[in-house]
Amino acid sequence: MLKSLTVWNFALLEHVQVEFGAGLNILTGETGAGKSILIDSLGAILGQRISASAIRTGCEWLRVEAVFTLEDEALGLHELLAQQAIDDSEGMLIITRQVTRGGRSMVLVNGCHVTLAVLKAIGAYLVDIHGQNENLALLKEESQFSLLDHYDADLAEALAAYRHVYEEWRACCRQYAEKEQAAREYAQRLDMLRWQDNEIATAQLKENEDEELEAEIRKLSHAEKIAGYVEESYNLLASGSKEGVGVLAALARVKKDLQDMSRYDSSLANAQKMVEEAVISLQEASYELRDYGETLEFSPERLNKLQSRMDVIYRLRKKYGATIADVLAHQQKVQQELSAIENYDDDMAERKARIAALEAELTQKAQTLTQLRNRAAGELSAAIGGQLAALGMPKAVFRIEVSAAAGFQANGADDVAMYFSANPGEAEQPLQKVASGGELSRIALAIKAVAAARDSSVPSMVFDEIDTGIGGRTAQMVAERIALVARFKQVLCITHLPQIACMADVHLYISKATAGDSTVTQVRQLSERERISEIARMASGADMTAASLDNAKEMVSHAKIRKESLEKN
């Protein structure tokens, strides 16, 4: 629900803050005071395009800010906000839009920047504006489907069940077509896959084989150097060299000297122990060096064989992956694709059977939808026709027709069209071909009066001068229908008719004042006494009398009785 609207520098609106209430919010004022400008500023919040020409003369920017409270039932809106990472956990939505004279635009939703397209999508969940231009939405096929399908709970449930099967059917058909298209390339693809599988299989790869081979090749390639290092190390430990005795022989002397000394002084006992341990460790090292040197062999044939094997592995890794594990994983994918291609006929037969089964199920569910739609169309047409008669169109005919569509669609196997005839003797024709702007406004009101209790899609509605060209008894019936809609929705209504104004739950008066060269529009909520005066002015003109005030009081009193009656019914 719209809680408040604040406007800066929008045409005649220099700085206006308007608080709205639940139920019926009536906006009145002299012609040209700026009522429609206020609705235009709300439209800007809902994503409608505004140009820099709307900026107030002498200003460089305009800004509009609206505060909405959110209902838990608005699941589609909550999902959309979540997709945009917009937090709505506090049940509040603050939308700000600013446009500069240079053409730059900024949109903030709860402090997050969004595009105009996203704002428009959000606005569709918040407010439904009905004026002579906005009623063109009635002519859209999706709007007509939505009106009919939300009228009956059984119909909405049947549509959800149909769409569940429809989405699976579409996915199966798409996969079947893709596989059929790919089959044209299967012959060439099959040869390549078999060749790849055979090439990898012939290599008989083993996990981590390349690491082991590389280590052995490195060893064999430097076998002579390794042998020299081993021999020199062993000789230095065991046999000594031209420069002196071997390390082990020298340590043996140190060990003996320390043992002899310990008979006279035990101060170096720890050093003696370390030397003894070093002798043992180095002796073991010399044995390992000796054994390694005796087993070390250099085989050119073995090296050539290993290098040839690594060449095979390098080639496969270059083609199919960085490691042997990657190459083997690629082979597994190749084998799976080969299996799918080789089982193509069986797979396609299974898919075709599944599509046929889904089509049979879709046919049954589509028939159920058609039956429910025909029933709902008859009831809804009669109800809307009754409302149109009460709205001053007693001879009008309104009919919703359900006809067979060409194949399965997202909404079933039906086409929905609205037909209208305003006068006797005129053939019924599609709504968009015969209805004038004023007729569309009343048709929209009739539809909303019938469907408001069932329609939970948008919490707030705007009727912009829907009363154009009517008066008397028709004006009274229009007022009662708007009040009826306001029982289920928040309604903002611009009107010039006292019959409608007296139904207000909140009455806002819009006035225009001139100071020097500047004109400013102001908006204020009227007290009960001020309401009476405004309704009297609307009914009798500027020259109010005691009689006109009494008449206004009687209208307000009668309106309260009618609203109470609507509540009971």
pLDDT digits (tens, 9 = 90+) for 40-71: 899 899 988 888 888 888 899 999 999 999 87
Domain 2-126+458-568 adopts which CATH fold? Rossmann fold (3.40.50)
Q: CA 416, CA 401: separation in Å to the nearest integer?
A: 6
Q: List the one residue out of 3, 18, 63 whose CA is nearest residue 521.
A: 18
What are the C-alpha distances in Å from 238 to residues 228, 230, 244, 249? 15, 12, 12, 7
Residue 95 has pLDDT above 90, yes or no: yes
Confidence of residue 161 (pLDDT cuts 50, 70, 90): very high
Mean pLDDT of the chain: 84
Among 275-284, 445-454, 519-528, which stretch is predicted with the lowest mean pLDDT? 445-454
What is the number of residues in the chain?
A: 569
Q: Does pTM surpass 0.85?
A: no
What stretch of H or E contains 536?
Answer: helix 528-540
Cα torsion at 537, 540, 542, 546 (round to 10°)? -80
Confidence of residue 156 (pLDDT cuts 50, 70, 90): confident
Helical H segments across 184-268, by residue range: 186-203, 209-221, 223-238, 247-261
Among 117-131, 189-203, 229-243, which stretch is predicted with the lowest mean pLDDT? 229-243
Q: CA 569, CA 566: separation in Å to the nearest integer?
A: 5
Confidence of residue 184 (pLDDT cuts 50, 70, 90): low
What are the C-alpha distances in Å from 291 to residues 65, 229, 284, 288, 420? 89, 14, 11, 5, 107
**All CATH 3.40.50.300 domain ranges in the chain, comma separated:** 2-126+458-568
Instruction: Tell me the mean pLDDT in the region 146-172.
Output: 89
pLDDT at 358: 93
Share of the chain above pLDDT 90, in %: 22
Q: CA 396, CA 485: separation in Å to the nearest integer?
A: 22
Residue 341 has which token pair? 């291609």
Residue 76 has pLDDT above 90, yes or no: no
pLDDT at 208: 83
Residue 284 CB neighbours (<10 A): 10
Q: CA 306, CA 153: separation in Å to the nearest integer?
A: 76
pLDDT at 438: 63
Among 154-163, 241-250, 290-299, 544-553, which stretch is predicted with the lowest mean pLDDT? 241-250
Tens digit of pLDDT for each residue in 529-543?
989 988 888 888 767
Q: CA 275, CA 366: separation in Å to the nearest integer?
A: 97
Residue 397 CB neighbours (<10 A): 17
Tens digit of pLDDT for each residue in 330-381?
889 988 878 877 777 777 888 899 999 999 999 999 999 999 999 999 999 9
pLDDT at 337: 79
Better pLDDT: 79 or 73: 79
